[in-house]
Amino acid sequence: MGLAARAFLFALTLLLVRGDEHNHKYNDGEEVVLWMNTVGPYHNRQETYAYFSLPFCSGSKSSISHYHETLSEALQGVELEFSGYEIEFNRDVPSTVICMVDLTEDKVKAFTYAVMNEYWYQMYIDGLPIWGKVGEKDDQGRYYIYTHKKFDIGRNGQQIVDISLTTEKKELLAAGSKIKFSYEVNWKPSVVEFKDRFDKYLDPNFFQHRIHWFSIFNSFMMVIFLVGLVSMILMRTLRKDYARYSKDEEMDDMERDLGDEYGWKQ
């Protein structure tokens, strides 16, 4: 076998064994990509914005070896953005600073509005969704933002089967101050099978469902109104028909023959 043929086979082998979220298999030290999706109010899941529409900052890594794009995401209009975080399979990352952000008046207003409306953001690793809270408000009416993301990733062999996110380190939102964003990654073995890794998202207790009482009341009143309207129309029609038939019974044959015709003959 010639040298060129061997080089071609070697390159082809590298392409086939390289791990990413398309084949869901990784070797130790291979690149794992964190994708940023959307951010929006927790109590209105239909209202979403791009993650970086808030003045978050991205990591120092500027390029990746592959880009995530599937037919399902294209049909749904999902546009994932690369986070810039450096994550490698089965390699722990200690607390690492992503960037420093100078809080201007505009940035404070943007973050404060997000915290006030209980904004949450969504991310993806290997196709698994992750949710995190932007910040919180204390009893004195002060607004804080979470600046540290802690990822706990479960692996089963060469596959990622579980991910959890913990947001930590609250920083007060005040114009003129500087806040430091950071992250860390911890890998741990897991007994969850790859085929079962989405089961926890199907558990009804995983999400907190808020009952929209106003919508239920509005729908209930609309049903009552429509039933009442139809009933009123039917009652008026039946009352007229009953009165006409009662009158026909009191008429003699001559009057009935000379009378007006009703129904479909009219």
Q: Are 145 and 173 in contact (CB under 8 A)?
A: yes
- pLDDT of 9 reads 43
Tell me what pLDDT residue 211 has: 57
Q: CA–CA separation, 146 vs 163, rounded Å?
A: 19
How confident is the model at residue 127, as a pLDDT? 87
Report the distance separating Cα 179 and Cα 81, nearest Å.
Answer: 22
Q: Per-residue pLDDT for the chain (266 aa), expressed as one digit of tens each?
A: 554 544 444 344 443 444 555 678 899 999 999 999 999 998 887 888 999 999 998 887 766 655 555 555 555 556 788 898 999 999 999 999 998 999 999 999 999 999 999 999 999 999 899 999 999 999 898 999 999 999 999 999 999 999 999 999 999 999 999 999 999 999 999 999 999 998 888 766 555 555 566 778 788 899 999 999 999 999 888 888 777 777 666 665 555 555 555 544 44
Computed over its alpha carbons, how large is the radius of gyration of the chain?
32
Count CB-CB contacts under 10 A for residue 23: 12
Half-sphere exposure of 246 (CA within 13 A, CB side): 6
Q: Is 9 helix (H, G, I), strand (E, B) or coil?
A: helix
The rounded distance, in Å, linking the Cα atoms of 237 and 68 is: 64
Q: What is the pLDDT of residue 72?
A: 55
Residue 230 has a pLDDT of: 92
> Residue 96: CB partners within 8 Å, gap ≥ 6?
86, 182, 183, 184
Max intra-chain CA distance, the chain = 115
pLDDT score of 199: 87
